[in-house]
Amino acid sequence: MKKDDLVILNIDDMSTEGEGIGRVDGFAIFVKDAVKGDLVEAKVMKMKKQYGFARLMRVIEPSPLRVEPRCPHARRCGGCQLQAMSYAAQLGFKADKVWNNLQRIGGLTDLERPEIMGMEDPWRYRNKAQFPFGTDREGRIVTGFYAARSHTIIPCTECLIGVEENRPILEKIISHMEKYHIPAYDEQSGKGLLRHVLIRKGFATGELMVCLILNGRKFPAMEQLVVSLRELPGMTSISINVNTQNTNVIMGSETIPVWGQAYITDKIGDIRYQISPRSFYQVNPVQTEKLYRTALEFANLTGDETVWDLYCGIGTISLFLAQRAGQVYGVEVVPEAIADARRNAALNRIGNVEFFVGKAEEVLPEKYEREGIHADVIVVDPPRKGCDEAALQTMAKMQPERIVYVSCDSATLARDVKRLGELGYEVRKVKVCDMFPQGVAVEAVALLTKSGDISKTASGSLKS
């Protein structure tokens, strides 16, 4: 088999990145946009020693799991890798992905297939979007999304998993740039001004945030743009973020408020949250509530416990837990997020929380070893790379009754629960939450208790 060969493939599996997998002469061939159960014709693009990549040319016989993608850009877009799969099939794929990782990497061979919490309406769920800006061949300003595995911008202001307000906001910014001859940033030369536009919406409040990420500090005729953006109902916060570095990181460290509040407000359950442009906030508020309720259920609090919430962001989970705990401590590395977290505690009149700025793997050992602070329950919600070894070790040393691990990457979750297993903690329950319908990413929550301590769990989901 070589490049440009046409092959007929029976797609009998899916990769964790959502590609269909077919086999020829023992070679696994990865085909983007092919669905498990399809019979397809594909063109070989690249061959490695053991496997290859091919481009979907034609679906000969569609899989029963296949649906017509709703978005016309689904095939070129780098997001929504599963749009050609029915939503029910997407949920099955995700439950299996978490299950497989926990068995294969985590060594949890006795675990039953975890339950997955899906959405009733798996569209327009994202409260946040970051649109890259650029210039097309004709010299026109464009915005949209990056094509798969590239930084080529496909023009599109209408993303079906984003809010409807994205489109008028982007159109206003483009016409402003055309009127005042403002150049978009160019990654190659490092010249030009507008890099990205961040848009956030508070689903419970209707409040809108627009943040222009600039290769500079000033946007020409900003007052006129503000007047125009304010025509949109809900506009609450307009700001500029400065990023003059030649980097793939979208936002820089300095944010300059331009109009309105420096944050927007949203609500999850009974708790109100103020969110700054740079703070992490879960992108799917409907599913976030289910996720946090699961974390709270797994924490099984009675009202007296000391709880640590590591990687706490703006204190979302901390404040959720504080309603049922004695004392909650939150740890987060981004200072603005901790400022938000403290404001959010005050806003909700929650007094039994304290927040620390710093790395979990540094703050936790310090507080435990120097100040002897203990933990009845530890909740962690780390970024994709998972927890640092020092954090895991200290967690185990603190001997909490329960560890609740909220994870956005089941491969690192599996690695970390394996390590916690060596340190004396066993997984009792796992639930999966579909925070990202149409895409491959998936969120999971695991409950761990001390090994041998099975009486502590409400209902074990282990077979044994």
Give me the residues that bind ligand SAH (CB under 6 A), please: 280-282, 311-313, 316-317, 331-334, 337, 359-361, 381-383
Q: Are 34 and 11 in contact (CB under 8 A)?
A: yes
18 vs 382, which CB is nearer to ligand SAH?
A: 382
Look at residues 126, 52, 13, 83 and name the one whose alpha carbon lies nearest to residue 439: 83
Rg (CA), the chain: 24
Q: Are 135 and 144 in contact (CB under 8 A)?
A: no
The active-site residue out of 80, 312, 387, 408 is: 408
The residues near 455 (Cβ < 8 Å, ≥ 6 apart) are none
Shortest Å distance, C-beta 232 to ligand SAH: 26
Residue nearest to ligand SAH (CB): 313
Shortest Å distance, C-beta 395 to ligand SAH: 13
β-bridge pairing 443-450 and 271-275: unpaired
Q: Are 130 and 49 in contact (CB under 8 A)?
A: no
The pair of three-digit structure tokens given for residue 287, joined into one six-digit string:
């599913």
Tell me the backbone φ, ψ of residue 97, rounded to 5 degrees: -60, -45
144 vs 330, which CB is nearer to ligand SAH?
A: 330
Determine the Cα–Cα distance for residues 107 and 121; give it in Å rounded to an integer.
34
Which amino acid is present at 193?
L
The pair of three-digit structure tokens given for residue 139, joined into one six-digit string:
């010299």
19 vs 443, which CB is nearer to ligand SAH?
A: 443
Shortest Å distance, C-beta 209 to ligand SAH: 16
β-bridge pairing 327-332 and 264-268: unpaired
266 vs 376, which CB is nearer to ligand SAH?
A: 266
Shortest Å distance, C-beta 120 to ligand SAH: 22
Q: Are 432 and 281 in contact (CB under 8 A)?
A: no
133 vs 280, which CB is nearer to ligand SAH?
A: 280
206 vs 383, which CB is nearer to ligand SAH?
A: 383
Determine the Cα–Cα distance for residues 384 and 407; give it in Å rounded to an integer.
8
Shortest Å distance, C-beta 26 to ligand SAH: 41
Shortest Å distance, C-beta 388 to ligand SAH: 6
The pair of three-digit structure tokens given for residue 439, joined into one six-digit string:
């895409």
Q: Does residue 211 carry a catalytic annotation?
A: no
**Active-site residues: which are they?**
408
